[in-house]
Amino acid sequence: MDTKQETFNSSYIIGISFISALGGYLFGFDFAVISGALPFLRTQFMLDPIWEGFLTGSLALGCIVGCLLAGNLADKYGRKPGLMLAAIIFALSSIGIAFSSGLNLFVVMRFAAGIGVGMASMLCPMYIAEVSPAKVRGRNVAINQLTVVIGILVTNLVNYFLADTGPDAWRWMFGLGTVPSVIFLIGVIWLPESPRWLLKDGQEAKAKQVLNKIGSVTFVENTTAAIRRSLTGNTKQSYAAIFHKSVRPAVAVGITLAVFQQFCGINVVFNYTSTIFESVGANLDRQLFETVAIGIVNLVFTILAMWQVDKLGRRPLMLIGSLGLSIVYIILAFMLQNHYPAGMVSIFVLLAISMYAISLAPVTWVLISEIFPNKIRGVASSVAIVSLWSAYFILVFTFPILADKLGAYGPFYLYAVICFLGFLFVLRKVKETKGQTLEELEDNLIRH
């Protein structure tokens, strides 16, 4: 395909990518808010390790439901309606959590919030990948991860300043999630539908209108022809389609990467910052301060990843991150085990965050949005991301129990082994995808 004469409306592409990626902000908010709220919730609801893990992980259970809903919605009605529904669910659940009168209602509302987060976590990267030209697709999908980490940082800052407002501070922490969800809903109303979905649905005129806003006439013609070829012989999608031998390798890689992104263990650091630093004698103020430091480092290295993902490539970043995390975890576990000062522990916690933020965090989402063929992208993405959230639930549910039995350091030795195994998997199974259109990636998959 000749791409030399193609030109793009960069400001428009970045604009719609950022609006879609506001769903990532909601993900970041709900992901981070629990870390600041847990010290209050332990007292409010008298949590033991099992309930602490379940309360934290209930978000992930909702995310699984949200992904399954989003996969069907995305294929039947388009990407845009699913994004709108995610915003509405998130707004209502934020209010519900803030006014929860007991533990059961809190868990139900956090589960509902997870439905919205799960839908957004699947649909936002998918939408951005489908509206982005190949040469900037990695950067644009990484915008979603940028908004996730901005959500984490802003939420950690808000939590830090709300911590002194009394025992009901957690209600404000959760209730403020209504604000970004309403902003996201307003933004999505303005978004165009994905041109790839429009063509799949037979709406060629509308698809070309959107593509004309994105790029030149040559780009529109090349993209339309490539999408049409990729959809030849397309039938109604079902989950059985992902087991076809022609797409099975891509699905296996997508699911494994999704599970690895969670079992690498870094989200324990995000969600249980207070538990980790409490184990080395840090007070509540220091614990919440560490969440802010984590948010800042996470943001800086995510921006670095956006700069490098289309230059250095997906595979090198994944290799650097997985091996680096394995080494850092061993040192961190040793320091926690021997009660090193909080300041020294902080250095290696932040180093682990930086390794993750430049590699597994954004690149996994980029790869999941890229490696599946057009005609099964909806269901295949939902299966991969359901696997991701299932792994997240297992991770955050088991950590308080493992930390109670082994000490806060114990699980990090396990995570170090998993990261090394992940390094070997990427080395052997993951191919580079930078600079190729979604249709070219599909052609390569079929040929191999």
Full domain range(s) for residue 400: 10-191+233-447
Provide the angle, in degrees to the nearest 10, between the axes of the packed helices 103-131 and 49-77.
Answer: 40
Residue 401 lies in a domain: yes
Residue 205 lies in a domain: no
83 within a domain of the structure (yes/no): yes
Task: With beta carbons less than 8 A apart as the criterion, state whether 436 and 444 touch.
Answer: yes
State the maximum Cα–Cα separation within the chain, in Å, rounded to a whole number.
66
pTM across the whole model? 0.79
Q: How far apart are CA 166 and CA 152, in angstroms?
A: 22
255 within some domain: yes
Is residue 315 domain-resident? Answer: yes
Closest listed residue to residue 264, CA positions, set 75, 64, 420: 420
CATH of the domain at 179: 1.20.1250.20
- CB neighbours of residue 301 within 10 Å: 22
The string of DSSP letters for 170-192 reads HHHHHHTTHHHHHHHHHHHHHPP
For 8, the 3-state DSSP assignment is strand
Cα(410)–Cα(404) distance, rounded to whole angstroms? 10
Determine the pLDDT at residue 176: 94
What is the spatial distance between Cα 380 and Cα 168, in angstroms, rounded to a whole number? 42
Examine residue 210 and state whether it is found in any structural domain, yes or no. Answer: no
How many domains, the chain? 1
Q: Are 359 and 322 in contact (CB under 8 A)?
A: yes
The Cβ of residue 4 has, within 10 Å, a number of other Cβ atoms equal to: 5
**Considering the domain boundaries, does residue 292 fall inside one?**
yes
Tell whether 404 is covered by a domain: yes
Q: Where are the alpha helices (DSSP H) in 231-278?
A: 248-263, 266-271, 273-278
Average pLDDT per consecutive 10 residues, the chain (448 residues; last block may be shorter): 66 90 90 88 92 93 90 86 94 95 94 93 87 81 84 92 90 94 94 91 90 88 81 63 80 92 93 89 88 92 82 88 96 95 94 93 83 77 87 94 92 97 93 71 57
The answer to whether 314 and 367 have CB atoms below 8 angstroms apart is yes
pLDDT at 304: 87
